[in-house]
Structure 1
Amino acid sequence: MEFSFEITENDIARVKSFVRQHENGRFVVERRSRNLTESKLEITKEKFWKAMTGARLTSVQRSGPQSPVIRFLSSQPFPLAYCRVCEFEKPEHFIRSTLVNAGGIRFSNRIAEDLSANLEQLQSGAWKQTLADCNALRSATSPQDERRAADHIRITFKGFGPKQSRNLLQSLGLTRYEIPIDSRVIHWLKDFGFPVPLSAAALTDSDYYNFISDGVQELCRRSGVEPCIFDAVIFSARDGEDWERPNILF
């Protein structure tokens, strides 16, 4: 049995109208300049580690512009910088105490455990494939390339499902097609009349996530908008203009 998304001219017109309303917002302009540029900086261990930390922190708690998580990620110097955590033979305690001392960050024990395990995984050999996948996305990509990179993150690292693996890649400016289908996107798609059920729980299944992502990408393709811009427009329409620094994480 096969399923195909039937996209009407009215659907296309609605998407185009929605994008036009918000395409000049600061958040959308920032996303366009980072994710669609032809010249992207190399992804280093330091950059990937901070993006991984940010994506893991935001997966289980509010991450609005004034939230404790965003204040923590904006700290200079970054308290959990790669060079800093590597100073510890067993960094879990340091990560946990740093998160607790920051104040307001939930699930510090679980996050510290996951990040410590992921650091060990990276240092045990996962850096090579991870950085190769990321840096391959700096040039022209396909949806399949991005999905393979997201799958590597999902399979390799603790605390990363389909959504957060894409959130990590998007925060690095590497994705054009694969987007994190979060609560904002789910609400928009439901209001739009997306033809299949949507829930955060169902989207933890990678096959179902890919199925929904295929539908979103087809809607964007037919509407002439890059999925990463479509995602930024949804974000901007809800609360993107409240951000002083849109590129902290997203």
Structure 2
Amino acid sequence: MQFEWKVDPADIARVKSFVDSHAANPFVRVRVARNLAAAKPTVDRSEFWKQMVGMRMTSVQRSGPDSAVARFLRTIPFPLSYEGVGREIDGDARRDLISSTLRAHGGIRFRDKIAEDLSKNLDKLNADLCWSTTLKKVNALGSPSKAGEEREVARFLQKLLHGFGPKQSRNLLQSLGLTRYEIPIDSRITKWLNDFGFPVTLTATALADTGYYEFVLDGIQALCAASDVFPCVLDAAIFASFDGDAWTQENTIY
């Protein structure tokens, strides 16, 4: 059996108009400049770790420009740097350090679970050649990549990392500025798509299933391809439509 996504001219016109209406928003402009760049900075262990921490924190809690998560990620120096956390060899001590740092910042939910997942992830990355394998796969997306190549890396990260489902794995790649096609489908995206008239009614529960998530993402990519819009830019425009002018070029972190 096969399924074919069909996009109507009216759908194309609506998507183009919507994206154009938010094109000047700083959040959208940063996304275009970073994710659509012809060449992107090499991701090292420190940057990968920082974005992994941030994207794990965004799960099931507010992550807008004035949220506790956004303030934490904008803190300089970064409170949970790879260099600082990596000094803790003992897993329990590392987990306690992460949890206590999040608690001291305030406003972060599920601190202990986040700390446990991040500590386990660092153990996995430090084992054998996992760091080199992971960074090689991630940095392969440093030049313009195809949708299938991005999906392969997203699946790899989802399988590798604790606490990273189909949404969070793509959140991580997008926050690194690497993806154009594979986007995180969160509550804002689902609301916008449902209001748009997407042929499948979307719920967070169903999107936890990888097969269903990728099926929906295929539909989004088909809509964007027909509209000559990259999915990562549509994603940014949807965020801008919810947050207005709260994001600036200086405070944009996703």
Q: Which residue of 1 aligns with 2:103?
A: 100
Whether contact under 8 Å (2:31, 2:236) holds in the other structure is: yes
Aligned match of 2:146: 142
Are the counterparts in 1 of residues 124 and 130 from structure 2 also a CA contact under 8 Å?
Answer: yes
Looking at structure 1, the residues matched to 252 and 35 of structure 2 have their Cα atoms a distance apart, in angstroms, of 11
Find out whether 1:114 has 2:112 as its counterpart: no
> Aligned partners of 2:15, 2:102: CA distance in 1, in Å?
40
User: Which residue is equivalent to 1:247?
Assistant: 252
Which 5+ residue runs of structure 1 have no aligned equivalent? none
When normalised by structure 1's length, the TM-score is 0.97
Matched, 1:233 2:209: no
* 1:229 partner SS: helix
In structure 2, C-alpha distance between the alignment counterparts of 1:202 and 1:241, rounded to whole Å: 32
- For normalisation by structure 2, the TM-score amounts to 0.95
Residue 132 of structure 1 corresponds to which residue in structure 2? 136
CA shift for structure 1 position 100: 1.0
Residue aligning to 2:195: 191
Alignment match, 2:155: 151
Q: Secondary structure at the match of 1:225?
A: coil
Asked if structure 1 preserves the Cα contact closer than 8 Å seen for 2:39 and 2:144, the reply is: no
Superposition deviation, residue 183 in structure 1: 0.7
Give the deviation of 1:89 after TM superposition: 1.2
Residue type matched to 1:64 in 2? G
Kindly indicate whether residue 173 of structure 2 is the aligned counterpart of residue 179 of structure 1. Answer: no
Matched to 2:80, the amino acid is L
**1:182 offset after TM fit, Å?**
0.7
Please state if 1:78 is matched with 2:83: no
Tell me the number of residue pairs that the alignment of Structure 1 and Structure 2 aligns. 249
CA–CA separation in structure 2 for the residues paired with 1:30 and 1:100:
30
**Could you tell me which residue of structure 2 aligns to residue 2 of structure 1?**
2
Q: Which amino acid in the other structure matches residue 243 of structure 2?
A: D
Measure, in 2, the Cα distance between the counterparts of 1:62 and 1:184: 11
Mapped to 1, the partners of 2:149 and 2:156 lie a distance apart of: 11
1:130 Cα offset (Å): 1.1
Cα distance in 1 for partners of 2:160, 2:73 equals 23
Q: Which amino acid is the alignment partner of residue 142 of structure 1?
A: K
Structure 1's consecutive aligned runs of 4 or more residues displaced over 3 angstroms after TM superposition are 244-247
Determine the C-alpha separation between the residues in 2 that align with 1:3 and 1:220.
Answer: 17
Q: 2:107, 2:193 → 1: CA distance?
A: 31
Counterpart secondary structure, 1:64: coil
Identity of aligned residues (%): 53
Q: Give the superposition deviation at 1:97.
A: 1.0
Q: Structure 1: which amino acid aligns with 2:114?
A: I
Q: SS of the counterpart of 1:242?
A: coil
Q: Give the whole-Å Cα distance in 1 for the aligned partners of 2:72 and 2:116.
A: 18
Q: CA deviation at 1:108?
A: 0.7
Aligned partner of 2:208 in structure 1 is 204
**Which AA in structure 2 matches 1:162?**
P
> How much does 1:246 deviate?
4.8
Q: Which amino acid aligns with 1:25?
A: N
Q: Corresponding residue for 1:26?
A: 26
Alpha-carbon distance, 1:60 to partner: 2.4
Asked if structure 2 preserves the Cα contact closer than 8 Å seen for 1:240 and 1:246, the reply is no
Match of 2:87 in 1: 87
